[in-house]
Amino acid sequence: MKIALAQLNYHIGNFEANTQKIIKTLEEQKAKGVDLVVFAELCICGYPPRDFLEYPEFIDHCEAEAQKVAAASVGIACIIGLPKLNPVLEGKDLYNVAYFIEDGKVKQTVKKALLPTYDVFDEYRYFEPAHEFKCVDFKGYKIALTVCEDLWNLGDNPLYKTCPMDELIKEEPDLMINIAASPFAYNHDEERIFVLSQNCHKYNLPLFYVNHVGAQTELIFDGGSLVFDKAGDIVHEFKYFEEDVQVFDVEQIKRSIVLNKEQVRQTHTEQVYQALILGIKDYFEKSGFTKATLGLSGGIDSAVVCALACEALGAENVMAVLMPSKYSSDHSIKDAEDLVKNLGCKSTIISIEEVADAFEHTLKPEFKDLPANVTEENIQARSRGVILMAMSNKFGYILLNTSNKSESAVGYGTLYGDMCGAISVIGDCYKTQVYQLAEYINRQKEIIPVNSIVKPPSAELRPGQKDSDSLPDYDILDKILFEYIELKKSLKDIVSLGYDEALVKRILKMVNQAEFKRYQTPPTLRVSPKAFGMGRRMPIVGKYLS
């Protein structure tokens, strides 16, 4: 039996495009003599559909498109994922299912049992879990078919009380197939490989695993579909961050004939770079946008975002807006101009001095003789935000936010100023990671000016200002933030690592007090295991560590 795994890029709610892509792949694989084509979890509607699932018409569309796929499956079999109505009154109204389709008909429906409700996942909000399990019989093989999380309940502290494979193995299956929607984080490919390999060890079966690829707003799916032999060794590892379809002979896999060598693992920086490119590209293409704009300061953050945007969209579709103030240094303007020259993108210079002065003049009767403080600094940042949004409105540009995770974590940014935008490109990258991205971008030649990388970071909102005036050095700050945000360590635990207690208290307080700002920021491309946004839900008015 020949099985094709189809790792494709779907578009949420774009039923026609998704179905056409699936049917086209079926036709191509049928011509090659393939017996079974396996597509990803919820491929019919795209993942995650979120509250679209609450609309009956959306569910009707899914079933109608699934029937179109079935009609195109004469002479071949396939597995597709979709939401399906639960006919039982009690419980949730939907199941997350896999259809096994053969010769034009849906022969079997497999329901997902383990519904993740943590981090970015919220499946129990919509779906009823399966309670019955049955293998799929096809061409003399017994297939243990599961959906994504159903294979993740391993380890010393299992999240769920049941394990679907423990039931399916009783029927003595010949192989496992798992259809998934597993989003990217820079450490997730190693974790994914380990968990799936452990299933092969435990059940002594080969495994065919197919994942989504492509970005859906903030979530990025990296692909990396996998085939394992029964010993848990990788037989084939698919491409990352691009579509890929591969065909396998089940008997070869059962005999553990390695079809290719395991891919060399990319560094985290390489993975993040590719993920951000895909995230920008799909955000624009799937939203029907083509042109981007951003504020270019001469600093490293905006330089990295500009370089990523040019790579993703084409330099001709990127407008960099230089907005010097009376505090901007000459070298900052030159650094920004050098970057524009290196990238070949469009640019313009709009001074904010008169705009900021006008605001201050208008407010003078209210402010009277009160001394200048952060208010005047924020007026400058908001003046830039107004200009960027005006450019966006007038010319149809989509504004890219250039704030990094370190700034967002401690609230070092201005609401409606440098924190505005449609999508946050590096908002899940700490400042130290931004430097690593800059070095990677410059791996073959200087694109980002060296001066943008080596000079002390500054918002340039007052004379001689540096980030270090308000924040600890990023090398220290980022390590403490990582311990608190990603690893969820307590104050006591972080201090025990050798950090100054007063400093740790200050940083944690800044993080929690900045929650109100993060509620009002754009969606952030997720590249870490714990990103701000839908995957980290904190109360604004919480007292803990504030």
Element (H, E) at 37: strand 36-38
**Residue 300 is labelled as binding a ligand:** yes
Q: Which of 357, 339, 337, 332 is nearest to 348 (CA)?
A: 337
Distance between CA atoms of residues 160 and 351, nearest Å:
58
Read off the pTM.
0.95
Domains in the chain, please, with CATH?
2-265 (3.60.110.10), 271-467 (3.40.50.620)
Q: What percent of the chain clears pLDDT 70, i.e. is strictly above it?
A: 97
**Residue 417 is labelled as binding a ligand:** no
**Residue 517 is labelled as binding a ligand:** yes
Quick one: pLDDT at residue 156? 80
**Residue 118 is labelled as binding a ligand:** yes
**Residue 232 is labelled as binding a ligand:** no
- Reported as a single tens digit per residue, the pLDDT across 45-98 is 999 999 999 999 999 999 999 999 999 999 999 999 999 999 999 999 999 999
Beta-strand runs (E) in 268-406 = 292-295, 318-322, 346-349, 398-401
Distance between CA atoms of residues 222 and 26, nearest Å:
22
**Residue 293 is labelled as binding a ligand:** no
Q: How confident is the model at residue 385 (pLDDT cuts 50, 70, 90)?
A: very high
Mean pLDDT estimate for the chain = 95
Q: What's the rounded mean pLDDT across residues 376-401?
A: 97
Q: How confident is the model at residue 278 (pLDDT cuts 50, 70, 90)?
A: very high
**Residue 182 is labelled as binding a ligand:** yes
Active-site entry in 21, 30, 41, 102: 41
Helix (H, G, I), strand (E, B) or coil at 423: strand
Check: CB of residue 234 under 8 Å from CB of residue 262.
yes
41 is an active site residue: yes
Distance between CA atoms of residues 506 and 208, nearest Å:
49
Q: How confident is the model at residue 263 (pLDDT cuts 50, 70, 90)?
A: low
**Residue 407 is labelled as binding a ligand:** yes
Quick one: pLDDT at residue 261? 58
- CA-based end-to-end distance of the chain: 60
Q: How confident is the model at residue 462 (pLDDT cuts 50, 70, 90)?
A: low
- Reported as a single tens digit per residue, the pLDDT across 419-428 is 999 999 999 9
Q: How confident is the model at residue 471 (pLDDT cuts 50, 70, 90)?
A: confident
Q: Which residues of 230-268 are buried (b: 16+ CB within 10 A; e: fewer)?
A: bebebbbbbebbeebbbebebeebeeeeeeeeeeeeeee
Check: CB of residue 310 under 8 Å from CB of residue 444.
no
Q: Which residues of 318-345 are buried (b: 16+ CB within 10 A; e: fewer)?
A: bbbbbbbbebbeeebbebbbbbbebbeb
Strands 207-210, 136-138: pairing is unpaired
User: Residue 411: pLDDT above 90?
Assistant: yes
Q: How confident is the model at residue 430 (pLDDT cuts 50, 70, 90)?
A: very high
Active-site entry in 135, 148, 306, 345: 148
Distance between CA atoms of residues 249 and 4, nearest Å:
9
**Residue 546 is labelled as binding a ligand:** no
Residue 326's contacts (CB-CB under 8 Å, 6 or more residues apart) are 353
Active-site entry in 30, 84, 111, 112: 112
**Residue 296 is labelled as binding a ligand:** yes
